[in-house]
């Protein structure tokens, strides 16, 4: 019997396998300037790190902006015909004209802006509310929220910003957590497992849905639902915390069980549309939440300490931030009775950015409405609006910034000026035009030239922290 064909087949398979192994060992992205992506034959068997694939550039018309235009036009028509506003308080949408009121220029604005500095377009001293809160951080909790999109998903940026603040001012735990995560292994500061929850987020909520909070999402129990959070040894602040709490709305009443290391307690929630908070105090490295009631609404869990600084990461993938103009004021007031903020950082814009669009006036007007709404429902907080980070694309064999980045940053800075808040030019802090190529070369940015990896998030967090502390130390 002639076995030559069999030997040839084995030889071909062997050569193919050897070729794939050799390709796995080559840094293709580095050698080809990211024209070719790295290849790993054994990635599925031995993953080095949990990865998340992010969506490509937005090419379709943004439905949120389209809806804003419809609402603005309808409101103007109503005011002309009736001379009064007809919207419900929780759904109020400031018109473009109302949102563009001019704020007096304070003396703090009479200076040349240095790249990387916090710009103040308000009437008061820069970060005055945060400064006052931090002066009491040894005895009370100081809270910072970072509300954004996939740029901060997985606690990127916020994990290092939190650690920097906690190293200086004290505090422990990771703060706010949603009941469900699509990519729990992507986050390095806490281990999360969950089941039995359906998520709703602010991008796709129906107009009748009034559960619109700063986090941008909430969870609904399908019946038997649970979530467990475990501390990790990433730093001394993430291994354990001292206060474990959660906020719920129980329209038909409910019972929830909270558990921390070796101890659990059942809590009865009376039927109510009001926010109800339950908590267990005591040092712990594991927090479990359970319920068997279908329809109970979970607004989030909080892994905290009673003093020091907490930084909450509130990311919703694909969010543009403009639907925050519909935040429910009565809901946020109820939540503020339990959790209030001294600083709110808004990180949005990349999902409204397009390579073909150079005029972002409409987005600026919608973002202005959102910022003004947040100012209204969180009156005790300073607000920093982050400009977009540098975003790149291929031009031939070179990586260059999208030419429309400048227009977006200009629109965001104008929104901050109109609202009288602080602005941080993220792109300028990164190095300005074409910074994306440098950050990718230094292994700080993913191959999409849009999202930072965990290392890049740490670098940007240090830049932001330095900018904030420069103001605080003045």
Which residue matches tokens 């600083």?
Answer: 343
Residue 204 CA, chain-centre distance (Å), reads 17
**What integer pLDDT is reported at residue 397 of this predicted model?**
82
Distance CA 391, CA 283 (A): 42
pTM comes to 0.83
Across residues 84-103, what is the average pLDDT? Answer: 35
Range scoring the smallest mean pLDDT among 23-37, 173-187, 358-372 = 23-37
Question: Please, which pLDDT band fits residue 77 given cuts at 50, 70 and 90?
Answer: low
Structure tokens at 102: 């001019």
Among the ranges given (4-8, 338-342, 355-359, 390-394), the one the predictor scored with the smallest mean pLDDT: 4-8
Residue 360 has pLDDT above 60, yes or no: yes
Residues 6+ apart with CB under 8 A from 42: 24
Look at residue 170 and tell me whether its pLDDT is greater than 60.
Answer: yes
Rounded alpha-carbon distances, angstroms, from residue 253 to 191, 219, 256, 336: 29, 16, 10, 22
pLDDT band at 76 (very low <50, low <70, confident <90, very high): low
- Decide: 213 and 332 in contact? Cβ < 8 Å: yes
Of 287, 332, 334, 278, give the one whose Cα is nearest residue 193: 287
Of the candidate ranges 54-58, 59-63, 241-245, the one whose mean pLDDT is the lowest: 54-58
In this prediction, residue 98 carries a pLDDT of: 37
Tokens for 5, please give them. 């064909």
442-468 confidence digits (pLDDT tens): 999 999 999 999 999 999 999 999 999
Of 460, 467, 462, 370, nearest to 412 by C-alpha is: 370
Which whole number is the average pLDDT over 59-84? 57
Q: What is the CA radius of gyration of the chain?
A: 24
pLDDT beyond 60 at 32: no
Residue 79's φ and ψ, nearest 5 degrees, are: -65, -35
> Given a cut of 90, is residue 404 above it in pLDDT?
yes
């Amino acid at each position: 019997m002639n076995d030559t064909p069999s030997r040839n087949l084995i030889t071909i398979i062997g050569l193919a396998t050897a070729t794939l192994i050799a390709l796995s060992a080559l840094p293709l992205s580095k050698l080809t300037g990211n024209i070719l992506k790295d290849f790993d034959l054994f990635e599925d068997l031995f993953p080095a790190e949990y990865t998340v694939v992010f969506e490509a550039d937005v090419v379709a018309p943004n439905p949120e902006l389209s809806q804003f235009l419809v609402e603005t036009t309808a409101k103007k028509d109503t005011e002309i015909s009736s001379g009064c506003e007809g919207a419900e308080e929780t759904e109020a949408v400031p018109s473009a004209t109302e949102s563009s009121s001019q704020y007096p220029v304070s003396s703090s604005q009479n200076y040349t802006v240095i790249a990387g500095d916090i710009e103040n377009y308000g009437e008061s001293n820069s970060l005055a509310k945060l400064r006052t809160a931090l002066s009491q951080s040894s005895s009370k909790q100081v809270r910072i929220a970072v509300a954004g999109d996939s740029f901060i998903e997985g606690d990127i940026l916020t994990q290092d910003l939190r650690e920097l603040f906690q190293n200086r001012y004290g505090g422990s735990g990771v703060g706010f957590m949603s009941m469900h995560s699509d990519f729990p292994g992507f986050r390095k500061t806490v281990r999360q497992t969950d089941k039995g929850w359906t998520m709703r987020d602010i991008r796709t909520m129906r107009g009748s849905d009034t559960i619109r909070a700063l986090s941008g999402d909430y969870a609904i129990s399908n019946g038997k639902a649970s979530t467990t959070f475990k501390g990790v040894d990433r730093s001394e602040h993430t291994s354990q915390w001292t206060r474990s709490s959660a906020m719920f709305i129980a329209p038909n009443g409910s019972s929830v069980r909270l558990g921390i290391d070796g101890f659990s307690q059942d809590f009865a929630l009376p039927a109510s549309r009001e926010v109800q908070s339950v908590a267990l105090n005591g040092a712990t490295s594991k927090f479990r939440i359970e319920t068997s009631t279908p329809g109970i609404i979970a607004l989030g869990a909080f892994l905290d300490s009673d003093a020091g600084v907490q930084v909450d990461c509130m990311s919703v993938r694909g969010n543009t931030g403009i639907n925050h103009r519909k935040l429910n004021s009565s809901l946020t007031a109820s939540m503020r009775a339990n959790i209030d903020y001294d600083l709110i950082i808004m990180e949005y814009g990349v999902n409204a950015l397009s390579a073909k669009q150079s005029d972002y006036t409409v987005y600026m007007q919608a973002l202005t409405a959102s910022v003004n709404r947040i100012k209204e429902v969180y009156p005790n907080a300073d607000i920093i609006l982050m400009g977009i980070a540098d975003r790149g694309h291929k031009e031939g064999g070179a990586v260059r910034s999208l030419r429309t980045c400048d227009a977006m940053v200009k629109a965001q800075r104008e929104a901050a000026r109109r609202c009288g808040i602080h602005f941080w030019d993220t792109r300028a802090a990164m190095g300005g035009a074409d910074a994306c190529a440098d950050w990718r070369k230094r292994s700080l940015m993913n191959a999409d030239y849009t999202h930072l990896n965990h290392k890049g998030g740490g670098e940007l967090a240090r830049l932001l922290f330095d900018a904030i502390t420069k103001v605080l130390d003045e």
